[in-house]
Chains A and B, each alone.
Chain A
Amino acid sequence: MRYSALQILKEGLTGNKGWIPAWREPEPKAEYDIVIVGGGGHGLATAYYLAKEFGVTNVAVVEKGWLGSGNIGRNTTIIRSNYLLEGNQPFYEFSLKLWEGLEQDFNYNAMVSQRGILNLIHSDPQRDAFVRRGNAMRLSGADAEILGPDEIRKMCPYLDYDNARFPIQGAIWQPRGGTVRHDAVAWGYARGADCRGVDILQNCEVIGFVMEKGSCHGVETAKGTIRAKKVAVCVAGSSSRVMEKAGMRLPIESHVLQAFVSEGLKPTIPGVITFGAGHFYVSQSDKGGLVFGGDIDGYNTYAQRGNLPVVEDVCEGGMAIMPMIGRARLLRMWGGVMDMSMDGSPFIDKTHIDGLYLNAGWCYGGFKATPASGFCYAHLLATDRPHETATAYRLDRFRRGAPIDEKGHGAQPNLH
């Protein structure tokens, strides 16, 4: 069924009886060309682009829980393409371009809202660094402007400009950044993949791989064995646990990131604002809640909840730039488990095991990457060659001395 204004009108006049489920609930087949492990944003996007762009439709997405139960339904929904390094920036700009056409492409309202992202500058060296970053962004075809305090004041009069420790000296502004309705992204990709023939198998945990003569020929699941010519793992915070079943150790640690939502308030924050002297970012949802977050907790964990010291730290960050939020009450908070990689950058690669592919290591920034990650993974699976914007995301990059370390922290995952 194609969604349109006309369809809504028709259904409205006929008692809304014609709507059908957005995807089927099929039984697993014995064999597929490609089995994707993990039905988060990246897994579903991979299935969608495999079917739509590369004509591979004999595909299953095998998901442990229900669609959207992982990080795709837990993130703070920020999209942007404001990276510095060559291995990253063209990829993220590719992703932002895909976001821009996404709703028309998959015929689903994902509420892609390009309200702009403002990264505040609090010192002279930080301005130098952001000017350099802005130049790198523009070289990749992205948009970036350096603003002074007067221009920011017009947009956000309530920031604490003359704070003694962290005065706001300016900002780097990416007008095309913004937010997207995260659940709708999962649902839109699921529906688009399903209607092209992809089987989405929910509540079907992968518990092992079918290995024959050193190569991978399928997965063992809670619903039995499913054979496949290629197995594409895409399980976000669970990558180490799943790949361990294939005997692999990864350059990844699992960490928790928390997110917070305030009670609904009148419209006040136009786009996304980030604090440059601590770690705090905030946007306002369409329902009016302030959606914000900050640092990861910093210790290895698979528990989908964090601890109080980070709550305090995040709220202090918020108070430092916009003291007005001290009046707002916190409505909800939660945590999600993510892969933190050794250089803060992801992997989209074949493994050394024939037939086994890996998409992992997205840290706390993989939501914005969802369309490009799916597209590039589909490209790799269909052609066995990396997409031109994802050539740097190789598993052997540390061995070759070629990490993609935006922050320059080295092999310390909790600092990226």
Chain B
Amino acid sequence: MIIDHPLLGPRDAAEFVVKGDASLIGRPDGMTASPEDMHDYMYLRDNTAGEHRELWYHEQGDRSWLVVTRNTLTHEVTKVELARDVARAQGRSR
């Protein structure tokens, strides 16, 4: 698989570490979230068959976190964004 890095261009997937579902960006506030919310955030996944948004870390590159949209049935990568941009668009400050 080739990941089209927004800053560096096409990179081999082997340079990355996969963290998993991009919903992990939206961690509930630990001070206010209920144990149930925290449990669901930590342990439950949609595990979609088809288009899947996921966090990839460019460990052997520029160490940026990316949100990769990839089809889990075909391995086709359709979109790559900086996780920073995605998080900010969701209202996160950092």
Contacts and interface: CB of A to CB of B under 8 A. Distances in A.
A294 to B, nearest CB: 14
A411 B18 contact: no
Given A300-B20, A412-B20, A307 B1 contact: yes
A411 B13 CA distance: 22
B72 interface: yes
Contacts of B42: 342, 398, 411
A250 B44 contact: yes
A300 B52 contact: yes
A300 B72 contact: yes
A328 interface: no
Contact of A249 (B13, B45, B54): B45
B70 interface: yes
**Closest 6 pairs between A and B when the two form their complex, measured CB to CB:** A240-B47, A309-B14, A251-B43, A249-B44, A398-B43, A299-B18
A241 B1 contact: no
A399 interface: yes
Interface range on chain A (Cβ under 8 Å from partner) = 20 to 34
Interface string A402-416: 000000000111100
Contacts of A23: none
A254 to B, nearest CB: 6
A253 B13 contact: no
Kindly name the residue among B17, B21, B40, B75 whose own CB sees the greatest number of chain A CB atoms within 10 A.
Answer: B75
Kindly name the residue among B12, B18, B54 whose own CB sees the greatest number of chain A CB atoms within 10 A.
Answer: B18
A300 B48 CA distance: 9
B43 A342 contact: yes
A414 B18 contact: yes
Contacts, number: 70
B72 A298 contact: no
Contacts of A241: 47, 49
Contacts of B13: 299, 307, 309
Contact of A398 (B39, B52, B72): B39
Contacts of B12: 309
Contact of A250 (B14, B47, B52): B47
A391 B11 CA distance: 46
Contacts of B44: 249-251
Interface string A269-309: 00000000000000000000000000000111111000101
Interface of A: 240-241, 249-254, 298-303, 307, 309, 342, 398-399, 411-414
A251 B20 CA distance: 13
Contacts of B43: 251, 342, 398, 411
B31 interface: no
A14 to B, nearest CB: 50
A240 B45 contact: yes
Contacts of A302: 49, 72-73
Interface string B57-82: 00000000000001011110000000
Contacts of A398: 39, 42-43
A233 to B, nearest CB: 15
Contacts of A342: 42-43
B45 A253 contact: yes
Contacts of B49: 241, 254, 302
Contacts of B70: 299
Contact of A303 (B18, B35, B72): B72
A301 B47 contact: no
B45 A303 contact: no
Given A300-B21, A309-B14, 8 more contacts: A240-B46, A249-B40, A250-B45, A253-B47, A299-B1, A301-B73, A398-B43, A414-B20
A300 B55 CA distance: 11
A334 to B, nearest CB: 16
